[in-house]
Amino acid sequence: MDGALTVVNGGCAPRRATNHQGFPRPSGRPGEGTRSPTESRPATSSPTRWYPRSFVQPPGFGRGGVLASTAGARIRADYQAWQQQAEAYVRARRGDLVIEIAPGSAAQFLSSAAASHQAGYRVELVLLGVRAADSRQGTAAHYAEVSRKGLPARFTTASGHDVCFRAVADAAVAAEHGSLVDSVVVMRRDGTAVYRSERSADGQWERPVGAAQALVDEQQRPYTPQEAAQFFAVQRQLRSALPQYRTELMEIAQLARPLMPMQLQPRPLARPAALASLPLPVQRPASGYCPVSSLKRAS
């Protein structure tokens, strides 16, 4: 799922760290609980990366009722503990960090940002502005890719994705109204920055507060024809690769529909014609008697 990045720079320049933390990504990965590759970049060594998904899993994991859709929740406490230890290890050595996560709450982001801020780092937040449908599609695409390689994979549930997706907006508000973040950027997947602001020497933002609104605007931005074509191309691939998740893929398509170009919107149903009453046939008695026949006989 697409989310947030926290960049923390500390190795070469005191008080110079960047902490980016991000959420669910349509080709991406925010819906899958927490994603946090951490990059340590001390001045004297090459980058080192930690990926929670690559951690060694105990024998038998994936059997005994552990489903792909529930694996993330079962191991979340473990990989979050590992992430916290990794961040502390790098900070203690004044290394720079780039942390990508899909936080489950604003508090989770603030906890990491506070530790870096207190250690004298400059904390920069990059928020990925991605539509919910694209974000969920990204987590499904990642699951399909990893599964194809025969590796353990976690399928992000809609509820798990939505928790993280909402938390991104909460993190944006917390960053702008708190004192832990030194700069904030809202960025599209293609790298286009739609909002950027930094704190000046007096601690005030250089631009009016607007990261949270910019994020929401991107999440609700209509698709261009090119983006729509790409979305449906990926959907076709996923329907072929993940037939067992047909219901989830239909939900993703429904999420995207309202933002699609008009020519791709479902055709409105024609209004029904006004109802008209129809004459009822005259019910005749079984004996054949009726007022008309009686009059004829009388005459």
Could you report the per-residue pLDDT of 206-223, keeping only the tens digit for each?
999 999 999 999 999 999
On whether residue 10 sits in a domain, the answer given is yes
Q: Is pLDDT larger for residue 279 or for residue 16? A: 279
**Residue 58 above 80 pLDDT?**
no
On whether residue 168 sits in a domain, the answer given is yes
On whether residue 81 sits in a domain, the answer given is yes
Region of poorest pLDDT, from 24-38, 215-229, 238-252: 24-38
Split at pLDDT 50, 70, 90, the class of 55 is low
CA distance 137 to 234: 8
- Per-residue pLDDT, 100: 84
On whether residue 295 sits in a domain, the answer given is no
Split at pLDDT 50, 70, 90, the class of 51 is low
CA atoms within 13 A on the CB side of 95: 22
Note whether 248 and 125 are within 8 A (CB).
no
Split at pLDDT 50, 70, 90, the class of 16 is very low
CB atoms within 10 A of CB 191: 6
Mean pLDDT of 89-116: 89
Amino acid at 75: I
Q: Could you tell me how far CA 217 lies from the centroid of its own chain?
A: 15
Note whether 239 and 141 are within 8 A (CB).
no
The contacts of residue 203 (CB under 8 Å, 6+ apart) are: 179
Q: How does the average pLDDT of the chain come out, rounded?
A: 78
Task: Find the helix packing angle between 211-219 and 158-177, rounded to 10°.
Answer: 150
Split at pLDDT 50, 70, 90, the class of 11 is very low
On whether residue 25 sits in a domain, the answer given is no
- What are residue 194's phi and psi, to 5 degrees? -100, -15
**Percentage of the residues of the chain whose pLDDT score is greater than 70:** 65
**Percentage of the residues of the chain whose pLDDT score is greater than 90:** 48
Region of poorest pLDDT, from 57-71, 208-222, 223-237, 276-290: 57-71
The contacts of residue 118 (CB under 8 Å, 6+ apart) are: none
Q: Which of 33-37, 54-58, 129-133 has the highest mean pLDDT?
A: 129-133
Q: Which residue has the tokens 């995207």?
A: 256
**Residue 170 above 80 pLDDT?**
yes
- What are residue 176's phi and psi, to 5 degrees? -75, -30
Q: Is pLDDT larger for residue 10 or for residue 47? A: 47
Q: Is pLDDT larger for residue 128 or for residue 65? A: 128
- Per-residue pLDDT, 35: 35
**Residue 64 above 60 pLDDT?**
no
Mean pLDDT of 147-159: 88
Split at pLDDT 50, 70, 90, the class of 71 is low
- Per-residue pLDDT, 15: 33
CA distance 107 to 38: 19
- What are residue 113's phi and psi, to 5 degrees? -65, -40
Q: Could you tell me how far CA 144 lies from the centroid of its own chain?
A: 17
On whether residue 243 sits in a domain, the answer given is no
Q: What is the DSSP string of 192-231?
A: -EEEEEEB-TTS-BSS-S-HHHHHHHHHTPPPPHHHHHHH
Domain count, the chain: 1
On whether residue 162 sits in a domain, the answer given is yes
Mean pLDDT of 73-84: 79
For position 196, which CATH number holds? 3.40.50.300
- What are residue 15's phi and psi, to 5 degrees? 60, 35
Q: What is the pTM of this model?
A: 0.71
On whether residue 24 sits in a domain, the answer given is no
Q: Which of 20, 241, 46 is nearest to 137 (CA)?
A: 241
Mean pLDDT of 170-193: 94
Which residues span the domain enclosing 180? 4-14+46-55+77-221
From residue 121, give the alpha-carbon distance in Å to each of 8, 149, 171: 6, 39, 19
